[in-house]
Amino acid sequence: MTDITKLREDICRFARALHERGLTHGSTGNISVRTPDGGLLVTPTGSSFLTLDPARLSRFDAELAHVEGDKPTKEMPLHRAFYDTRGTAGAIVHLHSCHSVALSMMPDVDPNDFLPHLTPYPIMQLGRVKLLPYFMPGDAAIGDAIRGLAGKRSAVMLANHGPVVAGKSLEAAVYAIEELEAGARLAMMTRGLSPAGLSDGDVAALVSKFDVEWGD
């Protein structure tokens, strides 16, 4: 099995798992992964994570010209922006997960630190998540907003839309975006109940111990 073949199968396997667990639905969500030659494999526009065909994934060369497969997701501007600004990005996952979208619409959310500090794992895997304003899906302005972060965040939340996470590998990006949704779900479940979250000292200790990229 070639590296490209394995990447194709991995994308479809992880995508199906995300869909089956209800983390995205219908034909929503998109994934991209760096290939060994510096190009990309990308899920096609209008496709369902449940029924992706490895042979029909969109393939881009090292100059990011579309060379094979179906037409790519309309969210290519956000994928390109992450790859352009984060040299460590090996994969990007974007979902329309319900609890994170719900939390993005709450009036008192901190745009610079989207998830409340309730448990350690979102901090360890994501650092601080930046909440970006609403943009129409596919709008090139999403890419501009991500570039404006200068690569300092591995994850952003698109208000009224969904989370986007960049990881060193596809596996890392999938696990991190699952943690983002779990953190948002916990935040919504405990909303208005005055939960006892982590202290500033607890957060600082996690950032130091696990070398978390905390961002500006």
| The two structure tokens encoding residue 94 | 């974007």
Give first-to-last CA distance, the chain, whole Å.
Answer: 42
Sign of the C-alpha dihedral computed for residues 62, 63, 67 and 72 taken in this order: positive
CB 131 within 8 Å of CB 104:
yes
Catalytic residue among 68, 75, 171, 178: 75
Please indicate whether residue 121 is annotated as part of the active site.
Answer: yes
Catalytic residue among 9, 121, 178, 179: 121
Q: Please give the C-alpha separations between residue 147 and each of 70, 72, 151, in angstroms, as whole numbers.
A: 27, 21, 7
CB 164 within 8 Å of CB 78:
yes
User: Which residues form the catalytic set?
Assistant: 75, 121
